[in-house]
Every structure is written in C-alpha cells, then in structure tokens.
Amino acid sequence: MPKVYICSLKLCDYLTFSSTVGYANIMDVTYTVYKPQPYLHNYSLMYGFGGLLYASLGSPHVETTQIEYSLLDDVEKKLYIYPARPKEIHLRRMLMNIKGEGAVEVRQLKPKSMYPWHVAHLYFAPNSVFETVVITKDDRIRLPKTVRVGVKRQGVFDVECEEAAVRGYTSGLTDPVNLGDLTRYKLNPDSYIVLLNTKTARRGVPNSNIIVKAYYRENRVAVLEAGNRIKFRVPLIGVHY
C-alpha cells in the first residue's frame, strides 16, 4: 500500500548547484558568479534517497542536455520524491582565484580552461532546511535518516519524515513539481510558474529539467498535512486515494 510522507532535510555541510550565472566587477576584475535557486530538483533527491550519488553532467553555459539517468527507473519502482521547497536558507560566498603554473598563460574560450580564472560561488550553508513530499510504493520501504545529494560539493542532509494525511483535493497553485513528470503521469497543468530550470533533462521526458508551481482549474491538487501541521499542495503522482 503506497504511503505519503512529508520530509524535512537539514543540511549538515555545504551544497552548491550552479542554477544561474551572473557577473560582478571589483576593481576592474570581472568575476563569474554561480548562484543556486532555493529549490532542489527531485531527481538528485531520488538518487540520494536511493543511496546513489548523483553528478550533474550539465554546464550552466550550454543548452539543455539530455542524459539517461539510468538508475532512476529502479528508484522509481520503490518511491517518488517531489522537488524540495526552502524553509530556512543560509547562503555563503566563496571567492576563488585560480592561476596557471606556466610562464605564459593560455586563454581559451571555455571559461573553466581560462587562466587566470576568478570565480565566486554562492552556496547553501549548514542548517539550511528544505521540505519535500515522498511517496513510497511498498510498506517494506524504510526511508533513510541521512542522504547525500550531489558529489561535487558534499551535500549531506539529516532527514526527518512524518506520514502525511490527505485532507482533500482543491484547485489552484501547487508546491514545487517537476513539469516533465506531470506530463508523463498525465497530470498536465493548465498553466505554471517556473521556479528552477536546470541543464540536464531526463532522456525521453521533455521538460523534466523544469521545476514549477503548477496551476489547476479543477480539483486535482491534494492537500497534505503531517502531524506537526506542515502542509503541502501537490498532485499525487502514481497514487489514488
């Protein structure tokens, strides 16, 4: 019997996702600034909850790349996880100045091969808290107490989950959902607001790189509530109540 949980994710160290790229100029030196959006894509969370390490193969400088996510099919047989929304965000900035070792510096068009390279990363800091919804498809599944999201920048989270009750169905805006997954499960919204647009889409699932707040005119949005009064509004994927 499927169960629905609301989970809190508390960051133990640091996590960087290069969701957006901007530039800053300080004393005539131009810096590239990589900044995350305050949402976590559900595919990286599904890899983490499945005990797998996920590494994005995309670059914020190029167009969307389709990749296989070859292990995601196995994870989806057991559970589905929604994108995570922010509850409490702490950001820090790291400035890196990288210089080559040669007497003559070679400059190339690719930013990560150009020296000297000045770059700033804004990243999520410890005690940042996110919330998400997890649907398990088997009573025997036990959700982990710790997950790791990504491989480049640590990303270890303490996890606390509480079973949620469905209080009814309504229309209107949802909490974060994956646009491609909605289409795949025939839950196409009437309209939506884009929250996060990553550079790696699941092969064969258009728009799976886009996280949105979906809008429904009809009552297709489940109102979920956990014991500590946390509420979520999402269409239930693969579950019928």
Cβ–Cβ < 8 Å for 9, 157: yes
Does some domain include residue 196? yes
Question: Which residue type occupies 158?
Answer: D
Buried b (16+ CB within 10 A) or exposed e, 117-153: ebbbbbbbeeebbbbbbbbbeeeeeebeeebbbbeeb
Task: Tell me, yes or no, whether 131 lies in a domain.
Answer: yes
Give the closest residue to 85 by CA, choosing from 148, 131, 129.
131
Domains of the chain: total: 1
Asked whether residue 207 is assigned to any structural domain, the reply reads: yes
Q: pLDDT tens digits, the chain, 241 residues: what are they?
A: 789 999 999 999 888 876 677 777 766 767 778 888 899 999 889 988 987 655 454 444 445 577 777 778 888 889 999 999 999 999 988 776 655 555 555 555 544 455 556 777 788 999 999 999 999 988 788 899 999 886 655 789 999 999 999 999 999 999 999 999 999 999 999 999 999 988 778 888 889 999 999 999 999 999 999 976 789 999 998 776 5
Please report whether residue 106 resides in a domain.
Answer: no
- Asked if the structure places residue 107 within a domain, the reply is no
Is 241 within a domain?
Answer: no
Are the C-beta atoms of residues 133 and 80 closer than 8 Å to each other?
no
How far is Cα 209 from Cα 42, in angstroms, rounded to an integer?
10
Residue-range definition of the domain harbouring residue 10 = 3-99+114-234
Please report whether residue 175 resides in a domain.
yes
In the prediction, which pLDDT does 63 show? 57
Which pLDDT belongs to residue 62?
Answer: 47
Q: Is residue 108 part of a domain?
A: no
